[in-house]
A and B are shown apart, each in its own frame.
Chain A
Amino acid sequence: MGEGSHLMGTDRSDQPASPQTARTATVVVLSLAVAVVLGDAGVVTLALPEILRDFGAQVWGVAWVLIAFNLVLTLVAVPAARLCVRGDPAVATATGLVGFAAATTVCAVAPSLGVLIAARAAQAAGGALVIVGSLEMLVAAIGVERAGVRRWAAAGVAGAALGPVIGGLLTSAFSWRAIFVVQIPIVLLALPAAIALRGRVVERRRPTLDTSPDRPHVLANLALALLSAALTAALFLLVLLLVDGWSRSPAVAAVAVTAVPVAALAAGPVFRGVRAGTRSEAVAGSVMIAGGLTGLALLPGAELVWTLAPQVLIGLGLGLSVDSLTAAALRDRIPRAIHGGWTIAARHAGVVVGLAILTPIFTADLRHAQTPAEEAIARLVLDAPLPASTKLDLAEQLGRRLSAERGRVPDLRPAFEALQVPATQATAVAALERGLDDQLKRAATRAFRTAFLVAAGLALLALGPALALRDRSRS
């Protein structure tokens, strides 16, 4: 280990002469490609309710739109990195960009859930080549290993944090298919840069092929996996709670969850001045993510404002921990692409494990929430200051809504719209509608509690490997 560091930590003087603007453009388009691919891991989160309705699927089936991408990325990241190491990273990246764009096109026009899931898997395979190839190319383009790795990690964090927000806004403005349409030109922007760097990255890296590869950094990768599993909950569950549980539009939900990426991006400027070291950053990040998730499990109301402080904690934790753990996993290890592949595999394995653990928990809890919600609704209707005949009419309509949307949070508005009452009862009916809506929100919020607490537990588990890290200042 360490032998490669002097090879990779080259200064800019041995680079082929290239204009500064061309280098900057290369760095920007490659960073964008990495952000788009890693953002894809969660970009459809806010679109899931619409996909669910479009294809008439169940929550568990639609969750595979997320799981397929993350599972394939987990399995393919390291083999893709080996391809990059043996061949030319620029060629691997270009191939990945074309494959990713093609699969994304299929996603955009998918006629069924099955095709969408298969295309998402293909997207991940192409995306894996893009991510690991871009690591080598960014280091080559920037010319300084540490700066290149940090740029690569930061692009990934920004993509993962902003993905759900952008996906939600596009779903709200157009349709879930728009999420995939806009990705195609963005990733293809990096294609000329990849082709231009063909052969140059191989030349610079060739001596490292003669050295035996370092072992993966188990502790950093394990912590990354556990935190990613927890962060999945933060975005996937929170979005489902806002859209399905609290009946917010995807646009409102998208704006609401921007607190996470904004806080993640602010974490660096806010805390890096402390220069606390990798271990301290990872520990503090894990504590904040666990605390934020516990905050989401203990919401005192269904107003968006209550989710903000927990989200800020999660965002700060994300910005502190993922970046520093990725840097720790790659520091002084060769071949860099393979270790980059390990961090990607670890993060997305965490996402898959998180979804696999948390989806059954909250879907079961959502089913179990039905009985208390129905009882609360029955109690409010029985005790409402309305004539018995109005209550009977309303009970009939509500019964239809509840049985029509069994297993999901029902929309009771049609029951009230169908109710014809004299003006003297209008105030009491409106108060009852508000009361029933509040009860449904209470039941939905309660149904997500266990899943958020389990996710907080996963973040706390990350404290183990984080505490065992060798502390090194990031200065």
Chain B
Amino acid sequence: MRRLALPLIAVVLVGAVLGVQVAAGGGHYIPLRPANPCTPRPVSPIPAQLEPLAEQIVLLGLDSAACRLGISRERLVLALAQTRSPDPRESAALKAGLVDAVDRLDRQGLLPKVSQLLPQALDQANLPGIVKTLIGAIPGPVVDNLLPTAPLLRRTIDELDINRLLHELTDPSQLNSVLQSAILQAALRQILDRVHP
């Protein structure tokens, strides 16, 4: 009996320690795993400002692009951050993903009207003051009639040069310039389409 006492004490002590550790989450103390990009994330209401809208579209777009590519959103972001030059398949998936994001926000009625975004857009635009004043004077309903948000965003995405956009990510002024150029082109085309259907 005395010979068994020590091994038994050892087993009891080991069992107690491991029991406490497993009960406290031992074995599950691991890094956060990426979420499945194909499972839609909940979207909260977006303030009528350019940056939050752009961010929401990019986040949802990355999910959709990653889902199309069969990888996680995080892996896609890290790959893009490393190379800054997506291959054609990634470029196409990114554009399609961004369009998916706009479609989803549009379906859920979460896209702000262009008239709500226009003052901020004009503030940031590299346009002559007189032009900004003229555009600013256009009544909101007219702006929204000429430029519905979802089609304008789809056209903007279509105009975007994804490679250039990724190269300019760390330079805010260049990034703004790329985005403004795409938005302006898209707006002009949309207005022209409305005027000459």
A-to-B contact residues, CB < 8 Å = 271, 274-277, 279-281, 283-285, 287-288, 290-292, 294-295, 298-302, 306, 309-310, 313, 316-317, 320, 369, 372-376, 378-380, 382, 387-389, 392, 395-396, 399, 439, 442-443, 445-446, 471
Give A21 to B11 CA distance when docked, in angstroms. 44
- 12 more contacts with CB within 8 A, not counting A280-B6, A301-B29, A376-B34, are A280-B5, A283-B7, A288-B13, A299-B26, A375-B34, A379-B35, A388-B54, A388-B58, A396-B170, A446-B29, A446-B30, A446-B31
- Which positions 17-51 of chain B face chain A at CB distance < 8 Å? 17-18, 20-22, 24-35, 51
Give A299 to B59 CA distance when docked, in angstroms. 34
Asked whether B3 lies within 8 Å of A373 as measured between CB atoms, the reply is no
Q: Would you mind naming 28 contact pairs between A and B with Cβ atoms under 8 Å apart? A: A271-B9, A274-B2, A274-B6, A276-B3, A277-B2, A280-B4, A284-B10, A287-B7, A288-B14, A290-B14, A292-B14, A295-B14, A298-B26, A299-B26, A300-B24, A300-B28, A300-B29, A313-B14, A317-B10, A369-B31, A375-B31, A382-B73, A388-B51, A388-B55, A392-B170, A439-B31, A443-B30, A443-B31
From B10, B13, B18, B27, residue with most partner A Cβ within 10 Å:
B10
Does B77 lie at the interface of the complex (its beta carbon under 8 Å from any beta carbon of A)? yes
In this complex, the interface size class of chain B, counting residues with CB under 8 Å from chain A, is 35 or more
Asked whether A288 lies within 8 Å of B10 as measured between CB atoms, the reply is yes
Asked whether B14 lies within 8 Å of A291 as measured between CB atoms, the reply is yes
Dominant secondary structure of chain A at its interface with chain B = helix
Does B188 lie at the interface of the complex (its beta carbon under 8 Å from any beta carbon of A)? no
For A301, give its contact among B6, B13, B14, B25 (CB under 8 Å): B25
Dominant secondary structure of chain B at its interface with chain A = helix
Asked whether B20 lies within 8 Å of A382 as measured between CB atoms, the reply is no
Report A449 CB to chain B, min CB distance, Å.
8
Given contacts A277-B3, A374-B78, A439-B31, contact A389 B26 (CB under 8 A): no
Q: Which residue of A lies closest to B26 (CB)?
A: A298
Chain B hits for A374, CB < 8 A: 74, 78
Give A116 to B58 CA distance when docked, in angstroms. 54
Asked whether B6 lies within 8 Å of A375 as measured between CB atoms, the reply is no
From B6, B22, B33, B81, residue with most partner A Cβ within 10 Å:
B6
For B18, give its contact among A291, A376, A392, A446 (CB under 8 Å): A291
Does B164 lie at the interface of the complex (its beta carbon under 8 Å from any beta carbon of A)? no
Given contacts A291-B13, A300-B25, A378-B78, contact A372 B4 (CB under 8 A): no
B-to-A contact residues, CB < 8 Å = 2-7, 9-11, 13-15, 17-18, 20-22, 24-35, 51-52, 54-55, 58-59, 62, 72-75, 77-78, 81, 169-170, 172
Given contacts A375-B34, A388-B51, contact A382 B18 (CB under 8 A): no
Q: Which residue of B lies closest to A379 (CB)?
A: B74
Report B160 CB to chain A, min CB distance, Å.
16
Report A447 CB to chain B, min CB distance, Å.
10
Give A290 to B11 CA distance when docked, in angstroms. 10
Report A300 CB to chain B, min CB distance, Å.
4
Asked whether B77 lies within 8 Å of A287 as measured between CB atoms, the reply is no
Given contacts A288-B10, A313-B14, A392-B170, contact A299 B21 (CB under 8 A): yes
Q: Which residue of B lies closest to A302 (CB)?
A: B29
Report A388 CB to chain B, min CB distance, Å.
4
Asked whether B20 lies within 8 Å of A309 as measured between CB atoms, the reply is yes
Given contacts A274-B5, A300-B25, A395-B81, contact A291 B17 (CB under 8 A): yes
